[in-house]
Amino acid sequence: MYKAVLADAGLTGYRPFFRDIQFLLALLVGVFVWFEMWFLSSNLLPVFLVQNSFIFFLSVVLWQPFLEELLFRGVVQGQFRLHNWGKEKRWGITRANLFASLLFVLVHFIYHSPLWAIAVFFPSLVFGYFRDKYGSIYAALALHVFYNAGYFLLGLLKMV
C-alpha cells in the first residue's frame, strides 16, 4: 500500500533524465533567464541579508524546492493525474499540470510580489511537464534546485 502512495506522489520509478535533450534545454533556458534577470530586470532579483546566508541558501536551494515539488508536483499533480480530466493535454501540458501550476502561483502570492508570483507560472509548467514525462518528481526537483541556485547566486552577486 505505501508503494502506491509513494508512486502517486512521484517518489518512485526514477528514470535517468540528465541525458534527455528536453531536460538539458530546460537547464539552458534557466541560464538565459538568469541573464535576463540580471541585465534587464534586476529589480526582480532578491536582496539577501548577509547574516545566515548559508541557512538561507539551504532553504532557497534545497528545502523549498523539495517541499514545493513534493506538494505541488508530487501530491497535487499526482492526485489530479489519477482522474481522466487531469490526463487531458493541450499543447503538451496536462490539465493536472496546469491546475497544480495555478495553485503554485497562488501560494507564491503569499510571500512574493504579484509580478514574481506570476513569473513562477512558466517554470512550474516546465516542472510539471517533467513530472508527467517521467512519472516522478526527480527531474522537476533537479530543475527547481538548479533554477533556485541561479536565483540565489544572482542575489549574492547583486550585493557585491
pLDDT digits (tens, 9 = 90+) for 93-130: 999 999 999 999 999 999 878 888 898 899 999 999 99
Which residues touch 97 (CB under 8 Å, ≥6 apart)? 77, 125, 128, 129, 131, 132
* Cα 79 to chain centroid, rounded: 18
Longest dimension (CA), the chain: 52
Asked whether the beta carbons of 45 and 113 are under 8 A apart, the reply is no
**pLDDT tier for residue 66 given thresholds of 50, 70 and 90:** very high
For 3-24, write each residue's pLDDT tens digit: 777 776 676 777 788 889 999 9
At residue 160 the predicted structure's pLDDT band, cuts being 50, 70 and 90, is low
Residue carrying C-alpha cell 518512485: 12
- Note the pLDDT tens digit of each residue in 128-155: 999 999 989 999 999 999 998 988 787 6
pLDDT band at 1 (very low <50, low <70, confident <90, very high): low
Dihedral in degrees, nearest 10, Cα atoms 53, 57, 60, 61: 170
**CA nearest neighbour of 8 among 95, 131, 121, 102:** 131
Give the pLDDT confidence score for residue 42 in this predicted structure. Answer: 53
pLDDT of residue 98: 95
The pLDDT value recorded for residue 58 is 86
Identify the bridge partners of residue 90 per DSSP, sorted by sequence position. 93
Say what the pLDDT of residue 119 is: 84
Give pLDDT, residue 32: 87
